[in-house]
Chains A and B, each alone.
Chain A
Amino acid sequence: MDFTYTETQDMIRDTLSRFLADTYDFETRQKFINSDEGRDPAIWTALAQELGMLGASFAEEHGGLGGGALENAIIMEEFGKVLGIEPYLPTVVIGGGALKAVGGAQADAMIPEIIAGNAIIAFAYAEPQGRYDLANLTTTAKKDGAGWVLNGHKSVVYAAPWATHLLVTARTGGGQRDRDGVSLFLIDAKLPGIVRRDYPTVDGNRASEIYFENVAVPGDALLGGEGAGLGLVEQIVDEATVAVCAEATGVMQKLHEGTLEYTQQRKQFGIPIAKFQVLQHRMVDMFMEVEQARSMTIMGALKLDLPAAERMAAVSSAKNKVSRGAKFVGQNAIQTHGGIGITQELAIGHYFKRATLIEGQFGSADYHIERFERLTLAE
C-alpha cells in the first residue's frame, strides 16, 4: 500500500501547472472562450507537441508515457484549477480509454493521432429521453452491407464543434432500455448526414446537439462487439467520472483558496471578515470537503481496475461524495463573497458554475448513491 506519487507523476503535474500558469490566466481564458472558435487551438497543439501531455496515460508502444487513471486525474485536477476547457476528457480519457480497451488496429491507428494533438474526439452518448441511463437509446445503427447507417439525436455533446471524430452509442438491436444491443462507434465527425447545432454552455465550454440523418458509417468504425458495447461504455464512463472528480477537486480547491484570500481582504465592522468565527468554521468545512474530494478521487482511480460491480460501487461512492462537496464548497464560496460573488467580474463565480455542472456530469449525487445502494445494499 502506497499513497505517494512517482517522480514521473510529480513531473507531469509540475510541467502542466507551470504551462497553465503562463498560458491560462483567468483574463486570457475569458478572451478565448468568448471568441468565435471558443478556444485557442494553439494550446492543444502545445499540450501535445511541446509538453507531450496528451500521451501521459497511454502505453509506451503507442508513444505514450505508460500511465493511466492516476495520470488522467493529475491532469484533470490541473485543468480544474484554471477552468480549462481543453477537450482532454472526451479525447484522451473517454476516446482514448475506449481505444485502449478494445486495442488492435483501431487503437494502433488512432492513439498516435490523439497523442500528436491531431484528433479531437467528442462523446455522443446522452439523449433527450435518457437522463443518466447509458442504455436508454433511440439512436440506431442498421447494418448496410459492410457498414452501418446511423439515425438519431444526441444531446449536449461537449467539444463537438471542435471534434475530428465522434464516439457514438447506438442501438444495433434490443429494446430502448435493454442492456443488450448497444454498440459503440468511432466515426469521422464530418461524415455526410451529421447535422450539428452548436452552442456555448454555461460553464464556458462549447457543445452541440447532433442529429444523425442516414449517416453511412464504415464497418471498421465499430469498437468492440456488435450489440455488446454497454459494458465498455460503462467502463469508460466510470473512468470519465473519476476524471471529473479530479477536475472537481481542482475547482473546489480554487473556490476554497479564493474564499480564504477574499475574506482576509474584505473588511466589515472594521476588521477582515476572516476574523469572524462563523466564517472561519465555514471555511474549515469547505477545506474538509476539498480534502475528502481528493481522497475519493484517488480511491476511485485506484479501484477502476476492479471487477465491474466493485468498480461501479467505488466510482459511485466517489462521485456522490464529490458532487455533494462541490455543491457545498461552491455555494458557500459565493455566500462568503457576498454580492461580488454573483457578478461575472470575479473568477469565483465562474468556478462555481463549473462546480455546479460537474455535480450532475455522468450522474448526480442521487443517481450515484442509488447505483451504490443497488450494488452493495440489495438483497
Chain B
Amino acid sequence: MDMEFSPEDLAFQKEVRDFIAENYPAELRGKQDEGEELSKEDFLAWHKILYKKGWVAPAWPVEYGGTGWTPTQRFIFSEETARADCIRLLPFGLSMVGPVIYTFGTPEQKARFLPRILSGEDWWCQGYSEPGAGSDLASLRTTAVRDGDHYVVNGQKTWTTLAQHADWGFFLVRTDKDAKQQEGISFLLIDMKSPGITVRPIITLGGEHEVNEVWLEDVRVPVDQRVYEENKGWTCAKFLLAHERTGIAGVAASKRGIEKVKAIARTELDGEKPLLQNPFFKRKVAELEIDLTALEFTELRGLAGPNAGKGPGPESSLLKIKGSEIQQRLTELTLEAVGHYGAPYFRGFGEGDNEHPIGPDYAHRAAPTYFNMRKTTIYGGSNEIQRNIIAKMVLGL
C-alpha cells in the first residue's frame, strides 16, 4: 500500500498539466470566472478538444475508445482537470448511455452511437423521471406499444437535464403493463427530433434553464433502437445508476471548490481580519476539508484497492451520499462568505451590456449556485434511496 506516483505517473501528470495549459479555451475560462451561464457550444468546446486528443472517455474499454489508463492515471487526470478548473464533461453520453450501449447493445448499436458520443456530435439527455415516478422510478407510466418494426411511445418525462440541446435521449418506457413493476420496462434510444416530442423548460431556483419537461405523443421509435431485451430495461437502468453514482463523488472538483472558498474567505473581511480567521467560519472549512479527505480515501480504496477493476458496486452509494453533501456544504459556505453580495440577482450579461455586475465576481453566482445545488442530494437516486440501497445490498436488511 502506498500513495507514491511512479516516474511514469509523474511524467503523465506533467503531460496532462501541459496539455490543459496549452489547450484549454481562454474564452471558456473567462465565462467560468465571470460566472456566466454556459451555452451548448461552451459545454462542447472542451469535450471536442479532449476527443481530438483521445482523452474524452478514460473509463471506457479501449476497444470502444477508452484510454486504457491505470486507476492511478485516471485519478491524476481527474485531479489535474479539477485543479485547472476545467469544465465538467456532461455525463449523459459519456458516463451514462455510452457504458449501457457498450455493455448491453448490439454491434450495430455500438457502431452507430458510440463514435458520435465520443466526438460530441450527439448530445444526449436522460428520460427517466416522470411526474408520478421519482424515487419510485419503477412506477413509470410512459408506454411503448409495438407496431410492426416500431414502438409507439406516449407519456411525459420530467427533470430532463439540458434536453433543450439534445439530439438523442435514452428513455425508460413500459412495454408490458401486466408484468410486475420492474419487469415490464424497456430501454429505448429516441431521436429527439422525432415528430411528437415537445420539450418545455422548467426554470429552477437559481433562475437557470437546466431541466425540462419532455412530452411524447405517438412518437414512433424503430425497434432496433431498443437496448437489450424487451422488458429487461431495468437491468440497464440499475447498471447505469451505479455508473452515475461513481462520478457523483466529485472529489477533485470539491477540492478545487474548497480552495475557492478559502480564497474568498481570505479576501472578505470580518472586522480587521480575513473571514477565514473567524474561528466559527474556519471550523466549518476545516471540517469540510477533513470530510472530503475521508471521502477521497474511501474512493481511492475502491479504485486502487482489492476490488479495483470490478466496477462500482452498491457501496458507491456511499460516495454519492457523502459527495453530494460536501458539494452542498461548499455552496453554503460560499454564500455565507460573500455576505451582502449574495443578494443581487445576476441575470448574466445582456447584449452590448458593458456595465460590470454588482459586487465582486466571486459573489455573482453564490446564491444561484447554492439554490441549484440542492439538486445533488435529490438526483441520481435521492440520498434516501441511496441509503435504502446500502441497507438492502450491503447490510442485507
Contacts and interface: CB of A to CB of B under 8 A. Distances in A.
B4 interface: yes
Contacts of A369: 283, 286-287, 290
Interface in A264-320: 264, 274-275, 277, 280-281, 283-285, 287-288, 291-292, 294-296, 298-299, 302-303, 317, 320
Contacts of A284: 387, 390-391, 395
A186 interface: no
A201 interface: no
A377 B285 contact: yes
Interface in B170-191: none
Contacts of B266: 379
B289 A3 contact: no
Label chain B's interface by main secondary structure: helix
B395 A1 contact: no
Contacts of A129: none
Contact of B295 (A292, A372, A376): A292
A2 B293 contact: no
A9 B75 CA distance: 25
B305 A377 contact: no
Nearest to B274: A379
Contacts of B71: 1
Given A1-B300, A291-B318, A292-B295, A373 B286 contact: yes
Interface in B257-304: 262, 266, 274, 276-277, 282-283, 285-287, 289-291, 293-295, 297-298, 300-301, 303-304
Contacts, number: 119
Given A298-B1, A377-B276, A3 B305 contact: yes
A285 B395 CA distance: 11
A369 B291 CA distance: 11
A5 B298 contact: no
Nearest to B318: A288
B214 to A, nearest CB: 32
B297 A298 contact: yes
- Interface residue tally of chain B, by bracket? 35 or more
A260 B397 contact: yes
Nearest to B273: A379
Interface in B48-84: 71-72, 75
B33 interface: no
B203 interface: no
Contacts of B397: 260, 263-264, 274-275, 280, 283
A288 B2 contact: no
Contacts of B301: 3, 294-295, 298
A295 B2 contact: no
A321 B295 CA distance: 11
Contacts of A285: 387
Nearest to A322: B294
A222 interface: no
B388 interface: yes
A26 B96 CA distance: 49
A284 B322 CA distance: 12
Contact of A1 (B75, B262, B286, B290): B75
B23 to A, nearest CB: 26
A288 B321 contact: yes
A373 B304 CA distance: 29
Interface of B: 1-5, 9, 71-72, 75, 262, 266, 274, 276-277, 282-283, 285-287, 289-291, 293-295, 297-298, 300-301, 303-306, 308, 315, 318, 321-322, 384, 387-388, 390-391, 394-397
Given A1-B304, A288-B318, A299-B293, 9 more contacts: A1-B4, A2-B2, A2-B304, A3-B303, A4-B308, A70-B1, A288-B321, A317-B293, A369-B286
